Chain A
């Protein structure tokens, strides 16, 4: 058993290292050679964020637009790489890779020129622009820094493009929960949607393992809880309804139902989409919601469904994600 000399043992270790190194290098070589679709650059015309009857979306990690009347038809794909995008009134926000493992929030004008850039921690998740184009918000996932040290936490920031004022993280806002002041280091926010006054907003706040719809005030730096189990709100163009994802039986592990909350009655209507939607939906108009669903292989498609619970979901932009109307 112990008859092996040190030299022989070292020989075995070196041989194993060479063998295992070859396996790793061989695998890496095949992985590196796997066909990667080259980034489609340019089109007949350049991508524009100017308001018009077009939809903005991400195709193969690049900004692209399609005609609102023929979303599955010809597509204009730009050279700008984004993991999440949104635009309104000629202002765009793009969560853009900065290096292989860091991202930045980039604010764009209608011609996709960068007007501001903010470095953000973590991985891109949500992005929104207020209807006027003034306020911009984003959410990223940050690994391993929550106090459970193994879970994920989120960072949600807000930028006022007029004053340049930036809220790096909503976590410093004062919280009123069920009428009482609440503080807890486990608080996380995601999925901001702005109201028409460019100050108040809705978002998701999680604390103590529960997720709440909150209404916030940027100037006052406050949020208050409104309702439990409402995630990733998206305010309708008329400001009366919130599309959101509702965790089935209040358990995110069971998936989410895309639903709509009437803010005057606080009544919830489930849409006809029964597949689990993990997205912040976009209102294409006052009656249609667009959202991303993934196929089994992880490839995205943009689908749409009526907001009033009627109809059936329809495949809208195949092979695209992060839809936004250009209003």
Chain B
């Protein structure tokens, strides 16, 4: 590939110098604001309120976004911001999974705040360069690159050279350009997106890190919610950061020894047990493909089914043979969980880079299930290539996969046809049409441009242009709040329906993933049990996003004695590890209860932010029925025995002589009522009204009764 840099002609639009400052107990106590429209650059102090109530990471992101926008702001207004922040624990090198960047913006898919996290080295480098967060606001009138040198204390806004937009080229070029030599490349991290982010609402941000063993960049993604679309709308081509000299005490923690000991304890646990537990070092998150299939949970043909006879063709063993690395990789220093996988020297068969041999980061479970079974594709090489193009074109694999599955079902139902798709035969399993679709998105042409709007906007478009039945589209379009579902079939797990539906940002698995607890292990049988889980787990998982941490090392490995503890699903020893490392970095003295409270403050803030933007109420927590039960006769018949038995057992309904349509209707009434009961129980547990609005008493209880929040809440109770 051509890595020549276009050195000629690019000029500095703004130069800014700053004092490097000191990092103390996880905070630099300063953030960086850059307006790409006006070229204003300034430093802001981190206030005690920010640290006490918002902690860092997505907490800081939401805090700044609240101040930047009004209830009328749209995602493509200049005042919308992209905020990137790590969090106080982020950047420690001893505990696995401590290098996350949290990104917050107003989403083009949901019109309200989205937060998404990414690995890679940017977040920690930003902090080491002197800033707890970076706010990007405004819109440039030409493509720009922002360069932060964290050793020299310089920030520049530069005219972007013409040429590559797609990350696998641009990321390499910029790493090459801003590093002084090969040794220096490890000190560069780049954020960018790709050409499809300009033409769709599902753009993502790629975060690079330099792989010193492979001598090339690797990519991690802030995938969800269209953040890359906002990035390109601001005409930012890339943000480059440079920081040399990472050491184990960069955060100036209060208690280094505890960090070292806690980290080594988990490293040893992973060394001893990963291979007999989840094999994260060997195959990463793709380890569960066949497990999901076995439990009838693998989304197949737009979530109609939970398994497929051809799953063996895309099982984890198949992908293990495709992954060529000899040693496990983490996406930040010290991650011995090392789930980052890569297939090297993969020769592309389609598109503008056909014939190029590339390194593909992945596959991860979501990619294999979404791009694979959910679209009826059981060809591992096709999945890897789609994965590659999603990344380099800068689009979210999950949204791309789920919207493609939706399009395919519409095609098979006659809502779409060859004429309407411009010639694409988008049946389930059509690999060729799928590639054409993604290449169209990158060019912003044809049906790719329509599909790239996302499912919510497509539904309206199909109704208006093609006269499609809006009720059916609502039932089968797997989006909620405007965001496409991630790749788990929640139909047979009420708790996971709540895990997807009763969320702040839409149906992702960042907030709750309760399928196994509910369906497989039957640990939360009652509504109250489920409500407790739908309180605790979203709060616990929110905490990772406040601190720059990854969720995987929490429960993708467990101590040998975990099953003998009082609450095995919580992994109590690891919860204590998190309390210990937080205290070790910050010098505070929180316990596991205060940890949850820290999250509750930000979680309720985000809920109220949604309400302020005109969303965030009970009506917005409603799910498409495909997520809850069988929409079609085909689906009912695929599980007829189970469904008939449930109707008899739960409702005393005699199915003898009844048609599938009749049974679907009865089943639907039952399941929808169950979801409503669950919603009641969860809102009650969270301290919300039955309309989903946080109560003033709750805000007082968690010491989050800030005047601006009370003002919003009072309008809705």
Mutual binders A and B: no
B interface with A by C-beta (< 8 Å): none
A interface with B by C-beta (< 8 Å): none
